[in-house]
Amino acid sequence: MGLAGCGTTTSPARSAVDASLARTEAAGSARFVTINTVVGSATSTTIGWVDFTRSQLRLVRYDGLPSSVTAQYEVRQLGHTLYHRFILVPTKLASPGGVVGYLGLSRWDVQHTDQPVTASIVPLGWFSGADRVTVIGRATVSGTGTMEYRVRVPGSTFSRAHLEPFYLYLWLDHEGRIRRASCSEVETGLNGRRGPLQLTISTTLSDFGAPGHVQAPPHAPTPRS
């Protein structure tokens, strides 16, 4: 899950980054906000809560800023069971008072997943094969003092897509937990897309130990065994 064994030498910076995911999970739970920006496209905002100990997660992704009038994508994870649905807001017709809803598009789907809840917050692929860690310096994230690190991640090829080398930035608090993770990636060939796709992902974690609970959605399909 971490960077252990990826490099030829060990440094305090490398050790801190190696241990950051485990120390974050040791907090038990947290709230998080992710901003995903694709150049030439809309920005999405994800707000959620995760329980690392019980492998529970809930999140809502908004197309743009969180609002009751933006399309949403909701996810709930209970162990290896993943529930998800799209919520499209009603659209007003041209006729006065006319409103139409997107019937049938808000139903829950369910599937089995082997992906740990951590991967929905900080993609574990960011850490795979990282070959260099640099200390940037002290910084404040949402009122919390942190140490900022830069992690070099080499390029990779998967299916027909190629990911250019990039830097992952991590802000760790005094307990070594991830307070923020951010990177800018350039991908080519993703989903058959022509030309490069540039995106920036930034996740901020807060309220470690925050209580919460995730329940299976009512009337959701029964998970297959």
Domain boundaries, given as residue ranges, for the chain: 12-91+101-206
Q: How many CB atoms lie within 10 A of CB 41?
A: 11
DSSP string, 143-209: TEEEEEEEEEE--EEETTEEE--EEEEEEE-TTS-EEEEEEEEEEESGGG-SSEEEEEEEEEEE-TT
Residue with tokens 């252990």: 4
Please, are residues 161 and 37 in contact by the beta-carbon 8 Å criterion? no
Percent of the chain at pLDDT above 90?
54
Which pLDDT band, with edges at 50, 70 and 90, does 91 fall under? low
With a pLDDT cut of 70, the percent of the chain lying above it is 81
Q: Answer yes or no: is pLDDT of 74 > 50.
A: yes
DSSP strand pairing (43-51 vs 29-38): antiparallel
Q: What is the fold of 12-91+101-206?
A: outer membrane lipoprotein receptor (LolB), chain A (2.50.20)
Please give the Cα distance from 26 to 14 (Å, whole number): 19
Nearest to 82 by CA among 120, 122, 46, 124: 120
Q: What is the pTM of this model?
A: 0.83
Contact call for residues 60 and 54 (beta carbons, < 8 A): no
- Report pLDDT digits (tens) over 151-184: 998 877 776 778 888 999 999 999 999 999 999 9
Question: Higher pLDDT residue, 91 or 83?
Answer: 83
